[in-house]
Each structure stands twice: as C-alpha cells, then as structure tokens.
Amino acid sequence: ERAGAGEHLGTMSAPPQDTGDVELFDDLFGHFREARVFDAPPAVGNTEAEQTEPPKVNSLDFHNSEPLLVSVTDKDAGIRLYDVSKGTEEMEFFSAKYGASSVRFTHHPMAILYASTRKDKAAGDNVVEHHAIRYHSLHDNAYLRYFKAHEDEVLDIEMSTVSDTFLSVSKDRTVRRWDLRTEKDQEMLDLKKMAQVNKPRIACDRADEIVALGVEGGDIRLYTTKALQAGYFHSIQGPQSSGLV
C-alpha cells in the first residue's frame, strides 16, 4: 500500500470534447447488438455451492474519453479493467481485505475510486476505516489516498466531469464532497432529518451544475452543485410503488 505513489495520476486533464448529441428512438434500440462479451471470473468459495456460482458484478464504469471499462465483483472483490475496442481484459486486481463497490474512473484512465465494503469490525476499530473510499492507481497497483468520513456503507460515488472533485453518498444518510488532492471532505449534506432517505443514490449532470438525489419511493430531488446545504430546489415525484434497493 504505497499511499502517495504516482499522485500525478489524479490531476485534471482537459475535459473530454463534446462529441454531439445522439437522438434516441425505438427503432435505434431495436438494432442494438452485443459487440463484445467478457467471460465471467472464476467462482470462489469454500463450499461446493459457492464454487459453482461466479462472483456478481456490483458496479461498472466507462472512462470519459478512452475505450476502457472497469468492473468490480462482489465475492472476490475483483477489480478488472477491459479494453472495449479490442474486447480484452487488460488488468485484474483484488481488494479482498477491504472489499470493493461503487467503482468510478477519475479523469486519468489508470486511476479509479471505489468504496470499501469490509464487514468484520474488530473491537476498537474505527468505523470510518471500514467505509473509506480508496483512490487507486491501476498503473502501479498502489493506493494514492484514502477518503474517510462515512460511518456506514457507501452507496454511490459520482466524479465531476469538469474538476477534481467527487461526491459520495452513504447509508449514514450523508452526502459528502471531496477533492482528489486532499483527504478531508470539503462539504457535507446531512439527510438525517429528511423522511424516506435510507438508501439514497446520486448523479451529476455533465456540466457539474446539478446534483440529483434519488430516494425511496422513486422521488428525485435536485440540488445546485455549489450550494448543497441550501437544500433542494426542485423535487420530481416518482411512482410510490417503486423504491431503491
């Protein structure tokens, strides 16, 4: 764990160029076909039942400008990098000690963020250690930085498209803003007083001006990125029969 090695990987490069809008319509979707298929990772486990079931993918992310896809699988905490233009697996790492979920590329194609999912909490352990977000250089398989503040499982990570900042949301019912260049969170939005917010999800628009917060019941609440603590400025009501899982 050579924390600090290769920190230049996370610095902001030029934003990806806008390639224009693509109109989506039913006939277009009807012509979609599989272009690449990546083999499932081998099954892991101690029992025969576990060994016959391969790990499940719990998160995926495409890089903004390179033909790369990163995935994380649950049981083996496997992190795999694929070249989608060639249909090949390029790298494979494991985070068995800490677990892994909610993987996201940073701006550099060889640097990612993902959430820890460690469950075994020994007496005296600091709870934030188990829910740290890890900044990982794939180039040299080293941790560049740890982002520690969440006190429960991190559910979502969203990287800014225009800066070195990112957002995270957790079962501890907080949204936090971070900067890749420093370990301390930059801002915190407390959701504990809001009803029906137990497993929230977040997304940012491409201009990084609006944050969408999805909550149970299907409602979506919109915030201004630069003023999260001012509260949401608009709420979109969703179907009450559906919820986030």
At 89-117, the pLDDT tens digits run 999 999 988 899 999 999 999 999 999 98
For residue 5, tell me if it sits in a domain: no
Mean pLDDT of 33-51: 70
- Domain count of the chain? 1
What is the distance between the alpha carbons of residues 123 and 162, in angstroms, rounded to a whole number? Answer: 41
Return the bridge partners of 168, or none: 157, 176
For residue 105, tell me if it sits in a domain: yes
User: Do residues 111 and 121 make contact, with C-beta atoms less than 8 angstroms apart?
Assistant: no
What is the distance between the alpha carbons of residues 59 and 54, in angstroms, rounded to a whole number? Answer: 15
Sheet of strand 101-105: strand arrangement: 101-105, 111-115, 133-137, 142-147
Model-wide pTM > 0.85: no
More confident residue, 65 or 216: 65
More confident residue, 153 or 122: 153
For residue 27, tell me if it sits in a domain: no
For residue 36, tell me if it sits in a domain: no
Task: Indicate if the alpha-carbon torsion angle 54, 57, 63, 67 is positive or negative.
Answer: positive
Residue 237 has pLDDT above 80, yes or no: yes
More confident residue, 13 or 100: 100
Q: Closest Cα to residue 104, out of 130, 134, 131?
A: 134
- Hey, is 147 helix, strand or coil? strand
Q: Closest Cα to residue 170, out of 142, 147, 144, 137?
A: 147
What is the distance between the alpha carbons of residues 229 and 213, in angstroms, rounded to a whole number? Answer: 13
For residue 158, tell me if it sits in a domain: yes
For residue 46, tell me if it sits in a domain: no
DSSP 25-49: -HHHHHT------PPPPPP--SSHH
Q: Which residues contact 65 (CB under 8 A, 6 or more apart)?
A: 16, 17, 109
For residue 70, tell me if it sits in a domain: yes
What is the domain extent for residue 157? 56-236
CATH number of the domain within which 136 lies:
2.130.10.10
Sheet of strand 78-83: strand arrangement: 57-62, 68-73, 78-83, 88-94
